[in-house]
Chain A
């Protein structure tokens, strides 16, 4: 049976579940089981939820915790990519889950700051201002990361396309 604290926690968490889950999946791809990351964040959040006022703040808090956990994990783990290569031409016509998997994989090739900014902006739906506040950097800096991140993402996609063509024609 739920007690009050559990109910309060779920009340705060439910509105942000979807976005937080997507964030964790995008950020952990190939490096860390996303459910583990979510669970770790829940444990911290459950402990400190008294200090959190609303769901928007709660989401930022969860993301902040997950960033710290990921930073720790990246020092400890040598990630093994779940997917080594995918065929982008097939992805274009694939169903949604394949596209998402491909995107996560491409994002995993990006430098951390660019990846973080892109995930928060494009997938979680944070505004530039919100991202800047969460990451404690300037808005100009976030804009730069987004721009460079997209450019890098394009390069990754292009590179994969060429690799696949090379494999097929070679």
Chain B
């Protein structure tokens, strides 16, 4: 067969081939994810683990230490509107406080730069805003970490298995698994051992994860070891650019810092503040490490 005709034949096949993905699956995605279900999941997850939310815009720390939706039930659709006022109020309070605080030394700035830049770049491209540096506030509890007093609340690791409600299992169960990994890895003697342990564990986790979570909710689940002392565990959730879980290790391979970062998109939906549009970082500190 002449090459030209053969190529035309291939293009004909591509044009005439029926679609693989059905319209129904698109409709389902729109209903369950684009319309906000995964936002609810993230909100519940944040609530469950009482994350410190560190919000920065224009390179200035503007808020921190917001506990989300305290006291509410983890329902499938939390009442965002009723809690918004509460969050906004806290936001304003801490914003004012943070504005008067100097930005100080921060180990998170030692995070792999490439990761930060990628996230920010993606956000900027999507949002169409100017690229600006992003900084992250620092919890004051670790001696090697910071002088910053911006973060005023520390949080305890929730190692007791959480019993999530139906429809909310995906993210929570992953986080739960994640924390179990951290607990189990505490005594590891070296960074290499930790890497090996973590990699192996996450491989199995990945498997379980994919079999138990709808593909529409979670898109990607990867481990990236930037160097011996940092382990970045990235989870992409539909509706958000990236949800990252990070460990920072010291030279002995001990975990000295655990933190999370979440894309800004859902925060915008929750309308915390216009300042949140550009970048939101979520940090979680495990005090025992």
Tally A residues with Cβ within 8 Å of B: 47
Q: B288 near A: Cβ within 8 Å?
A: no
Given A103-B13, A103-B14, A123-B15, A43 and B3 contact (CB-CB distance below 8 Å): no
When distances are taken between beta carbons in the complex, the residues of chain A under 8 Å from B35 are 3, 5-6, 46
Name the CB-closest residue of A to B268.
A47
Q: B27 near A: Cβ within 8 Å?
A: yes
Name the CB-closest residue of B to A91.
B10
Name the CB-closest residue of A to B8.
A122
Q: A18 near B: Cβ within 8 Å?
A: yes
Interface range for B: 35 or more
Q: B197 near A: Cβ within 8 Å?
A: no
When distances are taken between beta carbons in the complex, the residues of chain A under 8 Å from B16 are 96
How many pairs of residues, A versus B, come closer than 8 Å at their CB atoms? Answer: 103
When distances are taken between beta carbons in the complex, the residues of chain B under 8 Å from A46 are 30, 34-35
When distances are taken between beta carbons in the complex, the residues of chain B under 8 Å from A91 are 10
Segment 6-21 of A: residues with Cβ below 8 Å from B: 6, 9-10, 13-14, 17-18, 21
Flag A87-113 by CB within 8 Å of B: 1 or 0 each.
010011000110110111010000000
Q: B220 near A: Cβ within 8 Å?
A: yes
Contacting pair B1 A92 (CB below 8 A): yes
When distances are taken between beta carbons in the complex, the residues of chain B under 8 Å from A96 are 13, 16-17
When distances are taken between beta carbons in the complex, the residues of chain A under 8 Å from B9 are 92, 99
Q: How far is the CA of A97 from the CA of B16 in the complex (A)?
A: 10
- Which of B23, B125, B239 sits near A43, CB closer than 8 Å? B239
Contacting pair B7 A153 (CB below 8 A): yes
Q: B186 near A: Cβ within 8 Å?
A: no
Q: How far is the CA of A117 from the CA of B31 in the complex (A)?
A: 33
Flag A52-75 by CB within 8 Å of B: 1 or 0 each.
000000000000000010001001
Contacting pair A21 B14 (CB below 8 A): no
Contacting pair B21 A38 (CB below 8 A): yes
Q: How far is the CA of A96 from the CA of B15 in the complex (A)?
A: 10
Contacting pair B7 A150 (CB below 8 A): yes
When distances are taken between beta carbons in the complex, the residues of chain B under 8 Å from A6 are 27, 30-31, 34-35
Contacting pair B33 A39 (CB below 8 A): yes
Given A103-B14, A122-B14, A122-B15, A72 and B121 contact (CB-CB distance below 8 Å): yes
5 A-B pairs (CB sep. < 8 Å):
A6-B27, A21-B19, A22-B17, A68-B125, A88-B6
Give A residues with C-beta under 8 Å from B. Answer: 2-3, 5-6, 9-10, 13-14, 17-18, 21-22, 25-26, 33-36, 38-39, 42-44, 46, 68, 72, 75-76, 88, 91-92, 96-97, 99-100, 102-104, 106, 122-123, 125, 150, 153-154, 157-158
